[in-house]
Structure 1
């Protein structure tokens, strides 16, 4: 009887998917439901980057990150002193992680890397624009991290000021 308890106790942890795998499955199912709800419904093999962009914009309504609009008094302020009516949106980091999971799930479900709509140039451009716009709206300009090659921290900081930020339109 003891041996049976040991096997039963060990089995659930071995069979339980990781947090990443669980989230990837939920994301994949949510995207599939989004495609089925389109009028007319979209088959996965007909999905393209336009559908992915539409999905990310759809998800914005469930976001929790305040993104100040350019006309807002608090636009560009890292810590606004009062509430405002600016929308809540999905944070760039959340969208980036989502696309990474969906990109992997697409290929795991038989999709070709060459036709992966989550890996398209349009998606990369959109994510870059969201990142830059959100950074600017918060008043914290995005600075690309440079790889260290033995330089001091001050040298790296001096060179990081040259990155540009363009507004998201």
Structure 2
């Protein structure tokens, strides 16, 4: 045996024998999977456990409330000297909560995951009016606490420069 044969002896086995790796998931897909698994685990810990097919908006709202304890955004309460101020320079005892944007993104990922895991779009509890109302209330209350007001703006039609929400058509 020559030295070149001996040095290549295990090379083919090492290169050819490893199983193909599944494609790596995007950051969004990984987060969606993690969120879905966390929500399903949350449902399993309920007494009695709740199957995803029995899940409703109340379970989701309770889950969002549970997540608030892990929040990192200071939300000033009415009566706090910093309530309604955009810039705060001092300390206060107001609670840390989940930011509205984080909750909104979470619900979006869970809504997509529900349907990817066999749920029907028309029965998606993450798309219910109660959840949309809750998110709107969180957004508005957090904006008020920070002294920022959200105003709904109309989108312009880029082709005509006309408000898309105000255009009407008439039939002859």
Q: Please state which band the TM-score falls in when normalised by the shorter chain.
A: 0.7 to 0.9
Partner of 1:59: 67
**Cα distance in 1 between the residues matched to 2:79 and 2:55:** 36
**Alignment of 1:133 onto 2:141:** yes
Using the TM superposition, give the Cα deviation of residue 149 of structure 1 relative to its aligned residue in structure 2, in angstroms: 4.9
Correspondence 1:118 to 2:133: no
Q: CA-to-partner distance for each residue in 1:49-92, whole Å, 9 max, x for gaps?
A: 10001111110110111100011111000111201000011010
SS in 2 for 1:69: coil
Counterparts of 1:28 and 1:149, CA distance in 2: 36
Larger Rg, first or second structure (1 or 2): 2
Given the alignment of the two structures, is residue 18 of structure 1 paired with residue 50 of structure 2, yes or no? Answer: no
Aligned mates of 2:66, 2:145 — CA distance in 1: 21
Which residue in 2 is equivalent to 1:107?
115
List 4+ stretches of structure 1 deviating above 2 A: none
User: Is there any run of 5+ residues in structure 1 with no aligned partner, and where?
Assistant: 151-169
**Number of residue pairs matched?**
146
Higher helix share: 1
TM-score normalised per structure 2:
0.78
Partner of 2:105: 97
Q: 1:41 aligns with which of 49, 54, 73?
A: 49
Give the match for residue 28 of structure 1: 36
My pick for the range that moved more, 140-149 or 69-78, is 140-149
Measured in 1, the distance between the counterparts of 2:81 and 2:121 equals 44
Match of 2:82 among 56, 74, 84: 74
